[in-house]
Amino acid sequence: MPLTRKAYRAAILHSIADPAEVGIEASYEYFEDGLLVVDNGQISALGHASELLASLPANIEISHYQDALITPGFIDTHIHLPQTGMVGAYGEQLLDWLNTYTFPCESQFADRAHAEEVAEIFIKELLRNGTTTALVFGSVHPQSVNAFFEAAEKLDLRMIAGKVMMDRNAPDYLTDTAESSYLESKALIERWHGKGRLHYAVTPRFAPTSTPEQLTLAGQLLGEYPDLYMQTHISENLQEVEWVKELFPERKGYLDVYDHYQLLGERSVFAHGVHLCDDECARLAQTGSAVAFCPTSNLFLGSGLFNLPMAEKHKLNVGLGTDVGGGTSFSLLQTLNEAYKVMQLQGARLSPFKSLYLATLGGARALRLEERIGTLQPGTDADFLVLDYNATPLLSYRLKQSKSIAETLFVLMTLGDDRTVAQTYAAGNLVHQR
């Protein structure tokens, strides 16, 4: 392939550290008139346009954006592919919601053509909303994962997904067995894990829908392959937490169930964690595990408010999740709008720079991919966005009053949505143009 070099000029902003650890001012880099240089799908230079322009060849193609902000691509650490068709399902909390809406919707993925159709819609929605990497639940059917990875591979996206393992407490039409879930997961791992920019996640739905035998085999898979991910749910809803105690009376608590079956580790991501206690946060941090904070879902399903300050106290890795379809938007900007409110309700403030961190570098750290994505550092993959300050009349008017990049960023996260994303790039390729 010929060497491709392109440059992009605009205001540029990215996180370089967690504000909770280094303070807000040291957590980001901002170039009011910045230049991003991309060589063969990787970022090769970042800085002030005035300093970099002279070093570029005269014939290089430069895309110059007015009234726009370039940021890293967004990272969604928890989302369900098969629930795309049931976003905004009325009136239930978690356990009833699963039985009434989710399981019937997921049963449709037994049909390969349906899985392929939804995978295309799902990936388009991710890219339209500026999400360049997601940690994705499939359904119990292997074809849900095959369809998703095939669609992602065509666009050279960095994506992580897995087949749901679920062998009890669900309808017969949607359960596997401990053995079949192990064998089907293994076949998917052999086919997809580490292929291009794709990774596999071992995916027990949550402790109540897996027998001890299935959880044992999930832990066995993690031991058999290097760098596999593990994703599941934890402590989302108080009724669910009580149910886990009834099903696993011999364990100390919800997290201890997963700990016992060796599912904690550096690539393990636990969705929600709304009702975790201090000791559980400490144990998650000690094992290098991460939590996906899913505010739109936690509010929509009435699950509760995630305690981000407690997670920060324990230096626990936290990413952001849309949790579509319990969550109500594919947009991480809208998700941050709700995250701010979740903090407000607890008497805490979420700075726009911490928000940016959660949606980018924080998510990358939760996934152990910070060397590849989550920032605009030279040497990383060219996954980035162009956000349009004039996306809507109200946004345009409001940003004209802005006096700082902090204010601009906060307004983008409060008023912004998919319309704000003018372009999405993955591995240097334009994969969405509004």
Regarding whether 102 and 63 lie in a shared domain, the answer is no
Residue 354 lies in a domain: no
Strand order in the sheet with 429-433: 42-48, 28-39, 5-15, 61-72, 384-388, 421-426, 429-433
Regarding whether 197 and 153 lie in a shared domain, the answer is yes
In a domain? residue 68: yes
Q: Are 173 and 302 found together in one domain? A: yes
Based on the fold, state whether residues 122 and 216 are members of the same structural domain: yes
Alpha helices in 133-172 (DSSP H): 142-154
> Has residue 410 been placed in a domain?
yes
Cβ atoms of 422 and 413 closer than 8 Å: no
Same domain, 124 and 33: no
Inside any domain, residue 150: yes
Let me know if residue 282 belongs to a domain.
yes
Note whether 60 and 101 are same-domain residues: no
Which residues on neighbouring strands pair with residue 340, listed in sequence order?
none
Which of 200, 191, 182, 171 is closest to 108 using CA atoms?
171
Q: Examine residue 341 and state whether it is found in any structural domain, yes or no.
A: no
Kindly give the confidence (pLDDT) of every residue in the chain, 434 residues in length, as a single tens digit, with 9 standing for 90 and above: 445 899 999 999 999 999 999 999 999 999 999 999 999 999 999 999 999 999 998 889 999 999 999 999 999 999 999 988 888 888 888 788 888 888 888 888 888 999 999 999 999 999 999 999 999 999 999 999 999 999 999 999 999 999 999 999 999 999 999 999 999 999 999 999 999 999 999 999 999 999 999 999 999 999 999 899 999 999 999 999 999 999 999 999 999 999 999 999 999 999 999 999 999 999 999 999 999 999 999 999 999 999 999 999 999 999 999 999 899 999 999 999 999 999 999 999 999 999 999 999 999 999 999 999 999 999 999 999 999 999 999 999 999 999 999 999 999 999 999 999 999 999 999 999 99
The reply to whether 254 falls in a domain is yes
* Residues spanned by the domain of 206: 74-330
* Residue 407, both tokens: 């204010």
Q: 248 and 123, same structural domain?
A: yes
The residue out of 277, 310, 330 marking a domain boundary is 330
